[in-house]
């Protein structure tokens, strides 16, 4: 394994490659027939809830920071996207 530092600009290409690879794997899992309403290890969350959470925090990082500070909750934001169609969230 090569040595690289994720905290430097030199590590940017590796970080972007890993994020892209993991995102593609996540999409493949979420797009599988029957996966959308399948439960996940997150108590009370289905695949749709996990994808909604990721979409919400990606598009609304300020709201996610507010939740981290304790002035909002991630569950509420993810639940707000629960009825968005699978194709649109993915």
pLDDT digits (tens, 9 = 90+) for 69-86: 777 665 666 677 788 888
User: Does residue 50 lie within any of the structural domains?
Assistant: yes
DSSP letters spanning 73-84: -HHHHHHHTTTS
User: Does residue 4 lie within any of the structural domains?
Assistant: no
Instruction: Determine the structural domain holding residue 14 and report its residue range.
Output: 9-89
- What is the pTM for the complete model shown? 0.59
User: Does residue 1 lie within any of the structural domains?
Assistant: no
Question: Which of 5-9, 28-32, 60-64, 80-84 is modeled with the greatest confidence?
Answer: 28-32
C-alpha–C-alpha distance, residues 49 and 81, integer Å: 8
- Among 57, 38, 56, which Cα is nearest to 48's? 38
DSSP letters spanning 46-82: BHHHHHHHHHHHHH-HHHHHHHHTTSS-HHHHHHHTT
Tokens of 34: 């029957």
* Mean pLDDT (whole number) for 3-20: 88
> How many domains, the chain?
1
């Amino acid at each position: 394994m090569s040595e690289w530092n994720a905290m430097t600009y030199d590590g940017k290409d590796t970080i972007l490659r890993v994020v892209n690879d993991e995102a593609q794997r996540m999409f493949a899992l979420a797009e599988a027939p029957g996966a959308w309403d399948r439960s996940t290890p997150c108590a009370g969350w289905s695949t749709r809830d996990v994808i909604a959470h990721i979409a919400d925090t990606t598009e609304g990082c300020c709201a996610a920071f507010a939740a981290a500070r304790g002035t909002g909750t991630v569950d509420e934001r993810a639940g707000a996207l629960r009825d968005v169609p699978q194709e649109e969230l993915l």
